[in-house]
Copies of this chain bind each other. A is one copy, B any other.
Amino acid sequence: MTTRARPYHHGNLRAALLDAAERSIEELGTEQLSLRELARVVGVSHGAPRSHFPDRQALLDALAERGFSRLDATMRGAAETAGAPFEERLRATAAAYVAFAVASPALLDLMYAGKPSGDAPGSRNAAADVMSLVRGLIADGIASGVLAEREPERYAFLLFSWVRGIAALVTGGIVGRDAADELIADSVATFVRGSAPRLPAG
């Protein structure tokens, strides 16, 4: 049996499409993503993607899903730097988020594009993922006395919004890649200083 000129594809069309799609959105932007072009690149007919993704949006959702795993992994790795002091763990986690945003800006946008209140059963949202991680850090900060006793959720929203903003500035080219580290350090330092418990006696 000879190998056909165009076999019934190379075994994993789904993954091939996702890989090609991720390259495409980062290079040309998500709006420019074309299913037909993707099919051409991967070497199948324009109807083939339909077997794996009911429509264009489904492919984008699957792309975001892969992003969740990756973002979660890098941030969790940074947050769990064993033994490091609170402020440094905070900085490392923030830096991991920003690094992801720089490496995959279009993908991150996609991850946020989903409705915040997960409608679909399998649908996640980047916000929920990041928030749960930040909550853990905050709890440590309060427990170790670095942060004043306060609703942890308020701290979490503060940090999350700040880091998201920093990522937006870097992604948008308003601050350079190196200035980002400074901005992160400044933000975390200001946060810790501004959230320190009031001196009990002097």
Contacts and interface: CB of A to CB of B under 8 A. Distances in A.
A164 B168 contact: yes
Contact of A189 (B162, B172, B194): B194
A87 to B, nearest CB: 12
Contact of A183 (B157, B168, B174, B175): B157
B174 A169 contact: no
A53 B112 CA distance: 31
B186 A158 contact: yes
B194 A154 contact: no
Interface in A159-194: 160-166, 168-169, 172-175, 179, 182-183, 186-187, 189-194
Interface residues of A, number: 35
A158 B162 CA distance: 8
A158 B172 contact: no
Q: Give chain A's interface secondary structure class.
A: helix
A77 interface: no
Nearest to A179: B157
A163 B192 CA distance: 18
B157 A161 contact: no
B154 A186 contact: yes
- Which residue among A157, A163, A183, A187 has the maximum number of chain B CB atoms within 10 Å of its CB? A157
Contacts of A191: 190, 194
A15 interface: no
Contact of A165 (B163, B173, B174, B179): B163
Contact of A116 (B157, B165, B173, B189): B173
Given A116-B173, A158-B187, A190-B195, 17 more contacts: A112-B168, A116-B172, A127-B174, A131-B174, A157-B175, A157-B186, A158-B186, A160-B165, A160-B174, A161-B166, A164-B164, A164-B168, A164-B169, A190-B191, A192-B194, A193-B193, A194-B194
6 contacts: A116-B173, A127-B172, A131-B174, A164-B169, A165-B165, A190-B190
